Amino acid sequence: MVEEGSGAACRQRLKVKFCRLRPAEDGDMALPVYHSELAAGMDVRAAVPEPVIMEAGAIRMLPTGFAVAIPAGYEIQVRQRSGLAIKHGITVVNAPGTIDADYRGEIMVGLINLGGEPFTINRHDRIAQLVVAPVLPAEVEEVGELDVTVRQDGGFGHTGL
């Protein structure tokens, strides 16, 4: 049996630098933060100047007030917060969104309201999670045919549910 918190000692840390883009206007915005010791994602908040009402079916790009520097070989995936998705139908429209290591613009979160009711997003609301993940670049090689597998071209439910 593993005790809660015992994984912290073997959890690697990677330095990711966040920069406030508008310190005068967004100095009150909290840095993205993990809400538990072993959480995979950091919550990021909406840096909207006034409430944003998302009608059913609406897509909106929401600012966070931050840019980020990610070490080479990594990306940040922008994912939905499960509570917003399950309770209200609010999800990341391009889930998961990708922030590349060479991007230095503002972290923007594209949300869609898949629910049936309007939903209001206020300043400081947690709107998404940021997950730092390694990236392995692929070497592209053109071939005349691919290796044979048991599955071959079966997809979209081919292997069961």
Under a CB-based contact definition with an 8 Å cutoff, are residues 16 and 67 in contact?
no
Residues 62, 108 contacting (CB under 8 angstroms): yes
CATH fold for domain 13-134: Deoxyuridine 5'-Triphosphate Nucleotidohydrolase; Chain A (2.70.40)
Token code pair at residue 104: 């230095």
Q: Are 62 and 52 in contact (CB under 8 A)?
A: yes
Host H or E run for residue 112 = strand 108-113
Task: Give pTM, 2 decimals.
Answer: 0.84
pLDDT in tens, 19-40: 999 999 999 999 999 999 999 9
* Main-chain phi, psi angles of 23, to 5 degrees: -55, -35
The DSSP element (H or E) to which 26 belongs, if any, is: helix 23-26
Domain boundaries in the chain? 13-134
- Interval 151-160 mean pLDDT: 74
- Token digits for 136? 């392995």
- pLDDT tens per residue across span 75-121: 999 999 999 999 999 999 999 999 999 999 999 999 999 999 999 99
- CA 139 to CA 34: how far, in whole Å? 34
